[in-house]
């Protein structure tokens, strides 16, 4: 089975779910190639997996439009025949697609399966496949921002190309499955396939819960939808009501809102309580999480409509048996069961968020109960190994059905055009 992962950049530290999925396939013996539209992030690929360096190809797509034009001109000078391929895909002024087509024209790679994460990348791959620049069954995992972010300029038919020409859409939650159907995607081509975490690597470790001390950890980029500013404001309320409690909150991540978060900490007098650790390597972030008493991520719907999928950082915290505080947002309630495996509060509700912090700070037994239940939840529904087997079954079923556009049904019965397993 030859599989291509088409991604924007690779590797991206905040997209551990993509890295995890790729590594699981490689360990299962899949003949896999990563095609990155952008540039190398200068990360040593062999530290991720020993065989990745020889399996990763970078197209070098520049971000700026002027640089894209210059790159396209150079490509045409070197290979005039690339112009024919490039002009075929000119669509809605998408210069980036034209450049990708020009770069692929000399390769024309053939695979059994093309897998993309995020609808925006799937859209590009769909156009390339329709014009014969890459071949294989097309599967697209959709997460959240790719269906919700207003600044993408969604028109009513923004994803028409994707919906018409993709073999299988894999939303990461029931929430986004419903959204896809409302946007006009064929239900017979939709299957919920959740992201997972490596439970062999993520094992609970013994740590000392000290009386009068409560250590929070939060992992995620400093962007609006992560809700970090609400964590800071809630912590200030807890400190005001419990001045004798030794509180701490450690943030892992970088992003555009980091300066605003740092300024808010200074304004609220929390500089000795809140620490910003920056964008740590994954292993270092997990080590920090393992030393904490609880995890907090009060995700919100951003002002531009951007929303979460199901944050992997929450899965990792639960796998480490940490109690979680989050929000009733997107697919998070499909992971965190309120009062069972964590605590959920309404979006942007600082007061209720502060009370949830107090519940866990005051009750180590409750922390232990929620943490244990969280580990069980992840083992049952978000185990990367199990999900990897299921994903490869999806690949095999699509390859077996040679008819283009063969889909699957969610009704519990196989469609007339599919040999898809009934449960993935």
Q: Are 79 and 105 in contact (CB under 8 A)?
A: yes
Domain boundaries, the chain: 2-60+108-196+387-400, 213-381
The pLDDT, as a whole number, for residue 79 is 67
Would 2-60+108-196+387-400 and 213-381 be classified into the same CATH topology? yes
Q: Which residue has the tokens 């991540």?
A: 253
The pLDDT, as a whole number, for residue 91 is 56
Q: Are 341 and 372 in contact (CB under 8 A)?
A: no
The pLDDT, as a whole number, for residue 100 is 79
- Exposure of 39 by Cβ count < 10 A (0-12 exposed, 13-18 middle, 19+ buried)? middle
The pLDDT, as a whole number, for residue 358 is 98
Q: How far apart are CA 83 and CA 397, in angstroms?
A: 36
Least Cα distance to 63 among 104, 101, 96 occurs for 96
Instruction: Classify domain 213-381 by CATH number.
Output: 3.40.50.2000
Instruction: Take residue 228 and report the two structure tokens written for it.
Output: 């970090």
The pLDDT, as a whole number, for residue 413 is 37
- Exposure of 394 by Cβ count < 10 A (0-12 exposed, 13-18 middle, 19+ buried)? buried
DSSP label of 151: G
**Sheet (strand 168-171) strand order:** 56-58, 31-36, 2-7, 110-117, 135-142, 168-171
Following DSSP, what letter does each residue of 318-343 receive, concatenated? HHTT--EEEES-TTGGGT--BTTTBE
Q: What is the pTM of this model?
A: 0.86
The pLDDT, as a whole number, for residue 73 is 66
Q: How far apart are CA 115 and CA 121, in angstroms?
A: 10
The pLDDT, as a whole number, for residue 327 is 98
The pLDDT, as a whole number, for residue 38 is 84
Q: What is the pLDDT of residues 25-64, one digit of tens each?
A: 999 999 999 999 887 666 778 888 888 999 999 988 777 7
Q: How far apart are CA 414 and CA 188, in angstroms?
A: 9
Q: In this structure, what is the dihedral angle of CA atoms 111, 190, 26, 18, given to the nearest 10 degrees?
A: 110
The pLDDT, as a whole number, for residue 412 is 35
Q: Which positions of the chain have pLDDT values less than 50? A: 151, 403-405, 409-424
Helices (H), 210-349: 228-241, 258-267, 282-290, 312-319
91-97 contact pairs (CB < 8 A, 24+): 91/127, 91/161, 95/65, 95/68, 95/69, 96/37, 96/61, 96/68, 96/124, 97/124, 97/127, 97/128
Q: How far apart are CA 370 and CA 102, in angstroms?
A: 53
Q: Are 289 and 314 in contact (CB under 8 A)?
A: no
Q: Top-level CATH class of 2-60+108-196+387-400?
A: alpha beta
């Amino acid at each position: 089975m030859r599989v291509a992962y088409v991604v924007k950049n690779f590797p991206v530290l905040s997209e551990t779910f993509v890295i995890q999925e790729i590594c699981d396939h490689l360990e299962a013996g899949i003949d896999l190639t990563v095609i990155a539209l952008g540039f190398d992030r200068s990360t040593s690929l062999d530290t991720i997996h020993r065989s990745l360096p020889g399996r990763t190809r970078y197209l070098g797509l520049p971000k700026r439009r002027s640089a894209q034009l210059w790159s396209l001109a150079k490509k045409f000078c070197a290979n005039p025949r690339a112009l024919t391929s490039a002009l075929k895909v000119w669509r809605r002024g998408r210069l980036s697609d034209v450049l990708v087509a020009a770069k692929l024209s000399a390769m024309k790679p053939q695979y059994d399966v093309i897998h993309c994460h995020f609808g925006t990348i799937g859209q590009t791959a769909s156009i390339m496949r329709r014009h014969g620049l890459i071949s294989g069954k097309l599967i697209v995992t959709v997460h959240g921002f790719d269906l919700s972010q207003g600044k993408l300029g969604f028109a009513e038919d923004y994803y028409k190309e994707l919906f018409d020409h993709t073999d299988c859409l894999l939303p990461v939650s029931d929430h986004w499955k419903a959204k896809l159907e409302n946007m006009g995607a064929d239900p017979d081509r939709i299957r919920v396939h959740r992201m997972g975490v490596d439970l062999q690597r993520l094992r609970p470790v013994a740590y000392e819960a000290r009386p009068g001390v409560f250590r929070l950890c939060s992992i995620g980029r400093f962007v609006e939808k992560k809700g970090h500013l609400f964590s800071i404001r809630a912590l200030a309320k807890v400190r005001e009501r419990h001045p004798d409690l030794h509180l701490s909150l450690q943030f892992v991540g970088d992003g555009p809102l980091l300066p605003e978060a740092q300024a808010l900490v200074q304004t609220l007098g929390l500089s000795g309580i809140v620490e910003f650790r920056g964008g740590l390597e994954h292993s270092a972030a997990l080590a920090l999480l393992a030393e904490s008493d609880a995890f907090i991520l009060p995700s919100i719907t951003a002002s531009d409509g951007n929303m979460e999928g199901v944050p992997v950082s929450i899965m990792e915290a639960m796998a480490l048996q940490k109690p979680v505080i989050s929000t009733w947002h997107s697919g998070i309630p499909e992971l965190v069961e309120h009062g069972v495996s964590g605590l959920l509060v309404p979006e942007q509700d600082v007061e209720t968020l502060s009370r949830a912090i107090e519940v866990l700070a005051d009750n180590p037994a409750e922390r232990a109960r929620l943490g244990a239940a969280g580990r069980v939840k992840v083992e049952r529904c978000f185990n990367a190994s199990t999900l990897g087997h299921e994903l490869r079954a999806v690949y095999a079923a699509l390859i077996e059905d040679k008819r283009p556009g063969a889909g699957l049904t969610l009704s519990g019965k196989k469609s007339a055009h599919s040999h898809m397993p009934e449960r993935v």
